[in-house]
Structure 1
């Protein structure tokens, strides 16, 4: 009875409940790939914006702190890396360290020194990075900043967000969270931004911490990852189509029409001379 069946049309296979379920799973997977691709494109846009900020602001002429931050509690992210100049007096007894700041796979901290300006406000200066030493009791010996009046040139960065469950202990903070530092200092403080030290005058007697590294102008591999996720989504549908076609071919091979096609293909292959026949014909001709 099977031999009298005609070929099965493709939609009789593709629109079955089983293959529709597979199609739904494929669509969900492709949707996830699109979402991940969109996320990578957004990450690339953020990286490009950061590169533009560095190119526009990093080597600009320093401006007064009060001009850059007219409102001590606010900060425009587009002003990141702008150099500012401010004069005041360091408060070395109030120094803090931002912990868990590895650099080139070496454990370390960033030294945060409050600078009291002429109007009584506190501006937090990140004076640089210190590696951990071998003293388990006091792993970070903080160098003393210049005493008396000092003129500081620093680049602005926004206050860092808090980390839930991690606060402050023994003069150490988990992040450079300026509102928290203001509470610790109990003094009016710039909470919108702090400064990465570029230079200070006079030069300190103690060796200063290592200066901050210049940000890289590399947008990363986000574009490549985004295109890869798109490709994965497309390949999922191609694989689904191949699977449907393969099942259709197997099922049609059992019908009379399918068997006739297979026999015709076999006869066609048999009618063609083999490589051995061609070689024998060439030798005979010689």
Structure 2
């Protein structure tokens, strides 16, 4: 009755189903791991944003990579802005995630002679992208800055291509090693995403909003979806087999009965 399963068509269909089941299960676990990572990251962001502010040099130093667990920690630094080595970061969006502009990066030379990169915030791009934009003047004199500690951006961790041949004092990535090439002072690894400063100064760039850590994304729903798909493969296979058997039975019933053979024929 089931000899049709050995036909070329059914062998291929069965093999495809056997391949799809583990692939879909694996995709489901991949989405589950992404969900777990998102939940853990949201918790880390929330905890670090709520943590007590500490001096930036407690968490990083020259040539050091900011530890993942220390990202988004509130840090402070005191010193003077070095506006002569200020640069802007191209193709960054405002808080509405739609308007394109620049981030303003200004080194802060601390009292101990070391420097830390400060992302002072966002400004609109203007009409001429080939020129250094008009940047609001940084507060002068002794400054105390407070902000979120961030890791250096690279093409690998940000997905942003580090284009060459840009106009003077324009960059694609926020990277302390790149900034350090133009400074004589040792530069701390990572950078500070400014939230407030004292004195504040007037007409300053738009402060970068804190990272969204409320949503968990659709990854769990996708995981369940893939697992339902994997369960549906054998169910669908059984349905197709039963349909094939039903169609073959109906075909046999529709065949005309053989003519009786006359006696003596």
Kept in 1: contact 2:162–2:173 (CA 8 A):
no
Cα 1:34–1:140, aligned 2, differ >3 Å: closer, same or farther?
farther
Gaps of 5+ in 2: 256-265
Q: Answer yes or no: is 1:249 the counterpart of 2:246.
A: yes
What does residue 16 of structure 2 align with?
25
Task: Describe the superposition over 1:97-126 as per-residue Cα deviations: whole angstroms up to 9, x where unpaired.
Answer: 111112321111211111111222220111
1:232 deviates by: 2.1
TM-score (norm 1): 0.78
What does residue 36 of structure 2 align with?
45
Gaps of 5+ in 1: 1-7, 260-286
What does residue 161 of structure 1 align with?
154
Larger radius of gyration: 1
1:165 deviates by: 5.7
Cα distance in 2 between the residues matched to 1:118 and 1:212: 26
Cα 1:31–1:179, aligned 2, differ >3 Å: closer, same or farther?
farther
Match of 1:83 among 60, 71, 74: 74
What does residue 263 of structure 2 align with?
none
Cα distance in 1 between the residues matched to 2:131 and 2:62: 38
Q: Answer yes or no: is 1:112 the counterpart of 2:108.
A: no
What does residue 129 of structure 1 align with?
122
Moved more, 127-136 or 105-114: 127-136
Over the residues paired in the alignment, what is the CA RMSD in angstroms?
2.3
Cα distance in 1 between the residues matched to 2:191 and 2:165: 18
Kept in 1: contact 2:115–2:187 (CA 8 A):
yes
Cα distance in 2 between the residues matched to 1:199 and 1:19: 68
What is the count of residue pairs matched by the alignment?
Answer: 247
Cα distance in 1 between the residues matched to 2:183 and 2:33: 38
Secondary structure of 1:108's counterpart equals: strand
Cα distance in 1 between the residues matched to 2:252 and 2:145: 87
Kept in 2: contact 1:13–1:244 (CA 8 A):
no
Q: Answer yes or no: is 1:181 the counterpart of 2:184.
A: no
Q: Answer yes or no: is 1:226 the counterpart of 2:219.
A: no
Moved more, 99-108 or 24-33: 24-33
Cα 1:184–1:46, aligned 2, differ >3 Å: closer, same or farther?
farther
Secondary structure of 1:195's counterpart equals: strand
Cα 1:167–1:38, aligned 2, differ >3 Å: closer, same or farther?
farther
